Amino acid sequence: MTPIKMYDAIRNIVPIFTEDVVMYPYVNQVKDFIINNETIEA
């Protein structure tokens, strides 16, 4: 996965910052996404 595709995929997980929200669930989703894509790409 190219860096641009990875960025776009993560932007689909994390909402645009328009208000102060708890980010922990999004951080976990991004972490899981990166871990799963590292195992596929490696």
Q: What is the pLDDT of residue 28?
A: 94
Average pLDDT over residues 20-26: 88
Q: Other C-beta atoms within 10 Å of 41: how many?
A: 8
User: Per-residue confidence at 41, pLDDT binned at 50, 70, 90?
Assistant: low
User: Per-residue confidence at 40, pLDDT binned at 50, 70, 90?
Assistant: low
Inform me whether the pLDDT recorded for 42 exceeds 60.
no
- Percent share of the chain, pLDDT over 90: 43
Closest C-alpha to 29, from 42, 17, 12, 16:
12
Pairwise CA distance, residues 1 & 23, whole Å: 25
CB distance 25 to 12 below 8 Å: no
Q: Is the dihedral of CA 23, 13, 35, 7 positive or negative?
A: negative
